Amino acid sequence: MGVRVQSDRQGKTQAQRAVLELRHMVLAGEIAAGGRLFEVELSEHLGISRTPLREALGMLEYEGLLLRRSGGGYEVREFTFDDVSDAIELRGIIEGMIARVAAERGVAPARLDVMRETVAALDTVVGTDANDVNFARYSELNTQFHLALADMAQSSVLRRELEHVTRLPFAAPGDFLNIQSQDPRFLRSLFISQAQHRAVLEAIELGEGARAEAIMREHARGARHNLQHVVRTDRSQLRNIPGLTLVDDKSLLGVKP
């Protein structure tokens, strides 16, 4: 019995490692959109048996990165720009629900303190001059803000769904921030984003569920607009966004100004 339990744990660990490595390979463009995944080659490349590999492939199918082929096996999924927009919008919907539930059910003082500290730190980073933003620090604190928000509703259902959608390429809050750090329009938008951070915290503290939900949905919509701006103005930057190697180039041509 003990040997079997140890073997099961080892297989689970191998599958988890395979998920991380395969996800990186896909998002980095090492396996092109539409590319077929061959179990024998991957098993040798990752140094694991085919059983945990198949488990990892199934998990990436669930995340939406892979498609099961009709004849068996998997291929890397290709996305359209509408998929990108929908994923960001869906994140906003789920984060909005989390904010509303947190406001209506109440949040433990310790969790509110974490959010207050993060928002206060963001205030010092954003400051008053868009040209004097510590962008690396902003990105770090922005991630902390969204992680803190995810815990505020204390809902395993909402947390699981948020984790699911943010595993899609380009849907996580900071997925395409780095390429925008020199864009004056984006730097100005940081003031709006930070105002929304403060506003949703206030709405949660006051128990204003509908307001909290609306703010987070608008917050995600701003991220979507920023990405659309990048697509319209400097499409060459897109290769630096994790996962956008999976987006069909033709769909980018249809992005409206």
Share of the chain above pLDDT 90, in %: 39
pLDDT above 80: residue 185: no
Mean pLDDT of 18-35: 85
Listed range (74-88, 152-166, 195-209) with the worst mean pLDDT: 74-88
| Cα first-last separation, the chain | 63
In this predicted structure, the answer to whether residue 168 has a pLDDT above a threshold of 80 is: no
Q: Please give the Cα distance from 147 to 159 (Å, whole number).
A: 10
- Can you read off the two tokens belonging to residue 223? 């991220």
Check whether 8 has a pLDDT greater than 60. Answer: no
Beta strand segments in the chain, E = 36-37, 66-68, 74-76
Over residues 53-88, the pLDDT tens digits come to: 999 999 899 888 899 988 888 999 888 888 888 989
**Top-level class of domain 81-252:** mainly alpha
Give me 251's structure tokens.
């769909």
H helices within 64-154, ranges in order?
A: 81-105, 109-126, 135-152
The domain ranges of the chain are: 2-76, 81-252
pLDDT at 2 over 60: no
Share of the chain above pLDDT 70, in %: 80
Query: What pLDDT is stored for residue 181 in this prediction?
Result: 53
Can you give the pTM of this predicted structure?
0.79
Report the CATH number of the 2-76 domain: 1.10.10.10
pLDDT at 228 over 90: no
Tokens of 179: 């390429």
Strand partners, 37: 74
